[in-house]
Amino acid sequence: MSIEGIDQIVVDIQTNLDESACKSSKASIFKVDNHLRIGGWDSVYDPKIVAIGPYHRGKPHLQNMEKLKHRYLKRFLNRPKEEINRCITAVAAMEERVRECYAEPTDSISKSDFVKMMVIDGCFLIELIRNYALERLRDEDDPIFRHGKIRSQLRHDIFLLENQLPFFLLNELFNMTKIHHQKDDIITLTLQFAGSVFLNFKVPDTVRRVPTNIDHIFGLLHLFWCLPFAESISARAKHRKSYVSDNWANINSISGLREAGIKIEKAKEKTSLMDITLKNGVLRIPWFRISDETESYLRNLITYEQYLSDGEPRYVSDFTLFMHCLIKTSDDVKFLRCRGIIENWFGEDEKVCSMFNRMGKNILTSYDFSYSQIFQDVNKQCSRRRNKWGATLRRNYFNSPWSIISFLAAATLLLLTLLQTVYAVLSYKHRAT
């Protein structure tokens, strides 16, 4: 090989190393890897109407919302000039730190364009959540608040993993532009805007427990999905008598568990979506609603957890694997729906079944799986001989209402025959004496 060829290889290797170095270890805003995207369903990671940050910047179908961003910025610029200058100066000072939050290189965006993007997108988000909470701030002809569909799509886009700004940037802009006498903080206003994205929590109680090291708005969504469940697990661990091994196996579906004698009921208390319990042979599952956007939220939350370090819990991934095990057929979905556990706004039961079958594949769960104790207890109960006999009996002889009716008719006939025989024997003895 010539010296020129060797030099070119060295240059290529150095270029690859430089590109790898661009992916900072401080990164918290990721692009979804191709192996996590499922063909035909990868749109769940992409914004529908608005781009926030660099990853989807410039896409043609998102340009209409850019006009609305500038409208929000124009209203924002009605503030004193000194305040605007302070915001731009503050963002420019944070530029390098902000760039480090993105796992993919942003070198192709110049310093001025990057700062401009952060100011426009950041001010848009802050004005949006303020206007949502305070009606007096809204323009009468603002399309976001005149059309629920736009607001719904906007909410969806803001809670996507790839569509984020660093939270410290938003918090700084929020504090620098606080409205006079405004007492609410950015977390409270963001949660109010989130609305039905969150389940089973009260904002005032939960805000007091929020850590300060939030990565971004999507990280806040993940935190509030998981916080009640994490506290529930912690409380149960204190009362656990024995060590739970990580040697667990997947459990049967709803149909299999029912055949093994395990009852499945709707949980009476709704502390967390993921707070599934097993007690005295009864599996209790909290109510939850499945809509058109459920898969998008869950997939983004799962993907976010895939980038966490091995020691951190992956509660949403654990929950999704649990549901993946429980739901194998549309009949399983139907059972959960009829028991009031699932409220299906998504469509046919088969669609819900397919959704969980897709999401449960190649999923990385917590090192200390959240449901390991339940899985072990369920499998132990299913493996008991008498439960197997009962399952075989129900499957082979009581698998339909007609077979049950036939059995009852036969049993009644047998009982009547037995009584007739006993009566005949007693009558014979009576005549003999």
User: What torsion, rounded to 10 degrees, do the Cα atoms 37, 170, 69, 91 define?
Assistant: -110
CA distance 57 to 60: 9
CA distance 70 to 48: 18
- The region of weakest confidence among 165-169, 399-403, 411-415 is 399-403
pLDDT of residue 314: 96
CA distance 304 to 15: 28
For residue 267, what are the CA distances in angstroms to 231, 259, 262, 290, 326? 17, 21, 15, 17, 16
The secondary structure element, H or E, covering residue 401 is helix 401-432
User: What torsion, rounded to 10 degrees, do the Cα atoms 362, 217, 149, 352 define?
Assistant: 20
Task: Give the amino acid at 425.
Answer: V
* Tens digit of each residue's pLDDT (9 = 90 or more) over 294-304: 999 999 999 99
pLDDT of residue 139: 87
Given the structure tokens 């090291």, which residue do they identify?
213
CA distance 363 to 333: 21
Per the prediction, the chain carries an average pLDDT of: 85
Are the CB atoms for 336 and 282 separated by under 8 Å?
no
Mean pLDDT to the nearest integer, 249-277:
91
For residue 185, what are the CA distances in angstroms to 79, 182, 252? 20, 8, 46
Q: Say what percent of the chain tops pLDDT 70.
A: 80
Q: Is the pLDDT higher at 249 or at 209? A: 249
* Tens digit of each residue's pLDDT (9 = 90 or more) over 127-147: 999 999 888 888 888 999 999
In terms of average pLDDT, the best of 77-86, 97-106, 178-187, 403-412 is 97-106
**pLDDT beyond 80 at 8:** no
Mean pLDDT to the nearest integer, 249-261:
92
pLDDT of residue 188: 86
Are the CB atoms for 254 and 326 separated by under 8 Å?
yes
The secondary structure element, H or E, covering residue 187 is helix 186-194
Other C-beta atoms closer than 10 Å to the C-beta of 206 total: 17
In the three-class reduction of DSSP (H, G, I as helix; E, B as strand; rest coil), residue 97 is classed as: helix
Q: Is the pLDDT higher at 202 or at 54? A: 54
Other C-beta atoms closer than 10 Å to the C-beta of 323 total: 22
